[in-house]
Each structure stands twice: as structure tokens, then as C-alpha cells.
Chains A and B, each alone.
Chain A
Amino acid sequence: GAVVSQHPSWVICKSGTSVKIECRSLDFQATTMFWYRQFPKQSLMLMATSNEGSKATYEQGVEKDKFLINHASLTLSTLTVTSAHPEDSSFYICSASRDPNSPLHFGNGTRLTVT
């Protein structure tokens, strides 16, 4: 069964509102979680690395004030898209592992549509 749960699987919101996406590791503690964004027919772009108990590490070009990441516990990381705009519409995927040497498990993704 799934070891990483991502919620919601899809969400539609109005421009200017904020949306929160959750990523949970179900049967292991994940000190590190990763957030990706998929563009149509393209690779998954790593947005940020979420570290439990500390600030997330954002990749170059990713606005940290727009994509707020909170890794408050060893089993939960959240990505909040603030003041969403239509160009933020995308497919967001999280992944998690127990430690850097352990297998990486992926969530099923969240389809965000901003109208």
C-alpha cells in the first residue's frame, strides 16, 4: 500500500486565494521530504527540500514567500501556495524517505487549478 499520502488529490481555487497541500509519510518517519512541480510533458522540477524542524531549502527560482513549506513533524510536510494565480496551476508531487540512503517514496500528486 501507499507509504506516502498526499492530500488533496485535486483542488480548484480562485485567483488570490491560498491552497494547502499535505504530504504524510504513513509508516515511517521522514526527516526530509521533497516537493516537485510537473509541467506538461516535462520533468518534475524540484521546488524545495523540506527538513523537519528547520526551514525548507528552496531551489533557485522558486519563490519562498509564494510556496510556503512547513515540516512540523516527522510525518507531515505541507506546501501552501499563497495568493494563487492561474500560472500556479500545475501538478504538485511530494516524496519522502527515512534518510538520504533509504528508498524514496512518492505521493500520488495534487492537481491544482487556479481559476
Chain B
Amino acid sequence: AQTVTQSQPEMSVQEAETVTLSCTYDTSENNYYLFWYKQPPSRQMILVIRQEAYKQQNATENRFSVNFQKAAKSFSLKISDSQLGDTAMYFCAFMILPGDDKIIFGKGTRLHILP
């Protein structure tokens, strides 16, 4: 069975610092997607970044980047120059494609950016 583990329930960093959120997963599949979602108090789930497992290059989106280590089954999210608006719950998720259409979420990391 596939699992996603986020080992940091809560983190706090000062504004402008860099923070890394960890995520590990377990699967025997070779083709899959990995996601990081940001959940503000509104409960929306905002897609922060997505990584296809077949791509070796780490995905980046502005201040957000990932360190994807396929062999180690690790998918950490790095937020550079953190901003107060980055304060939120962050969920790591995993989906096997094609065909399975099952998404598995980690338990989330609550990130506080301190002024």
C-alpha cells in the first residue's frame, strides 16, 4: 500500500528565512505524481508544486522548489525568502498515474512564518 509521511506536524521560521518541509512516501510503482498543496484558513487546497516521477529535474515555482530523491522516496519542499502569507497548512500528496486515480495525502505540516 502506498503511504505518505510528513514527519513535521508544525514548524515556525522567521520571515525571509528559508524553510524545508519534509515528505517521504512508499510505493512500488514507477510512474506517479507528487504534489505539495497549501491550505490557508479558507480550507481551499492550493497546488504549490507538482513533480512527475519520470522527471529527474526538480520542479520549481518561483520561491518554491522541491528536492525529489526518487531512490530514497523523498520529496521535500523548500520555501525561500519566506513571507507572512506562506503561513498555512502544507500537505504532501501522491498519485499513481495512469489508471489508479487514487490520491494519498500526508497528515500535513502547519507552517508559521513569524514577523
Contact = CB atoms under 8 A, between A and B. Distances in A.
Interface of A: 9-10, 34, 36, 38, 41-46, 49, 91, 93, 103-106, 108-109, 111
Contacts of A43: 37, 44-47
Contacts of B61: none
Category for how many chain B residues contact A: 10 to 19
B59 interface: no
Contacts of B89: 104
Interface in B93-115: 93, 101-105, 107-108
What is the interface of chain B mostly: helix, strand, loop, or mixed?
Answer: strand
Interface of B: 37, 39, 42-47, 50, 89, 91, 93, 101-105, 107-108
Nearest to B1: A1
Contacts of B91: 106
**CB-based closest 10 A-B pairs:** A44-B45, A111-B101, A43-B47, A106-B105, A108-B102, A43-B46, A109-B103, A46-B44, A46-B43, A103-B107
